Each structure stands twice: as C-alpha cells, then as structure tokens.
Amino acid sequence: MTVPKTGVLVLDCSEPEALARFYAALLDAEVGPADGDSDLLLLTGGAGVLLGIRRDLGHAPPSWPRPEDSLQAHLRILVEPDLLDEAEREAVGLGARPVDATQDSMGPEQRTDQRRYTDPAGHSFVLAAVRQSSGA
C-alpha cells in the first residue's frame, strides 16, 4: 500500500509574510503557519495546500530570464483565456513585474496565450491561458 502524500512548491524569500500576502491575493487563498516550522507559511484554497513561502535570510532573488535560457523553476498559474487580460491587471496591481518576452528563449515572437512576470521577491511565474474543463 502506498502512503498518501501531497507535494507543494515552496518559494524562499527574505520576507515571507509580504510574499504570502501577494500570492494569497492573486490565488484567492488563505495564509497560515505550517505546523512545526515557524519559518514556513502555507497558502490553502478549496483544493488544499497551493503553495509554501519560507523565510531564508540569505535569499538572493533568482535571475530570469537567464542568459542560457534556463527557467530552473517557475509557477504556472492557469487562467481561462477570456480572463487573461483581467488576471494580468490583477497581478501587476498586486506588485508583479512583467518580464520582457523578447529577452527569453522564444525570441521576438511573444506568445499571446501566456505572460511572464516576477513576483515582488523576484521569483518567476507565468499566467497561462488554459481552458479548464467544467467537469471534475
């Protein structure tokens, strides 16, 4: 029998409270402490834990896009295609910074179905237009 498990992406930063507020507002989630770890905050929503934010006093923001075109890791936030512009306004209003798509590996042709940003602590994320199924 396999032991039930779940995984969560954890972002390191020097000010986890502020970054947790950013993602909680963007993802319509609640923020709470992780049991047994005073440096970790967990964002939860209807589907359970969505994201972790951990204090790292020596954190250096990632560099993206990197010259060698490596994203390393990024958060992909799925949005209905007809709501992409609204999601972009919301993200930027909360403090996200757009990344110039011409600087990444796609070259000068920018895809219209996804938009790249960095969060207030410098982590990369993408708003991606994906038609979500209405069934479970």
Residue 74 exposure: Cα atoms within 13 Å on the Cβ side? 24
Whether pLDDT at 124 is above 90: no
**Domain residue limits, the chain:** 10-55, 75-129
Q: CA 97, CA 94: separation in Å to the nearest integer?
A: 9
Give the alpha-carbon dihedral of 72, 43, 27, 119, to 10 degrees. Answer: -40
Q: What's the predicted TM-score (pTM) here? A: 0.74
- Reported as a single tens digit per residue, the pLDDT across 11-41 is 999 999 999 999 999 999 999 998 878 889 9
Fold equal for 10-55 and 75-129: no
In the prediction, which pLDDT does 133 show? 59
The correct CATH number of 10-55 out of 3.20.20.140, 3.30.930.10, 3.30.720.120, 3.30.365.10 is: 3.30.720.120
Sign of CA dihedral 7, 9, 13, 17: negative
pLDDT (average), residues 110-128: 85
CB-based contact 27:51 (threshold 8 Å): yes
In the prediction, which pLDDT does 136 show? 43
Buried b / exposed e along 22-45 (16+ C-beta atoms within 10 A): bbbebeebebeebeeeeebbbbbe
Return the CATH class of domain 75-129: alpha beta
- Reported as a single tens digit per residue, the pLDDT across 54-94 is 998 888 877 766 655 555 677 889 888 899 999 999 999 99
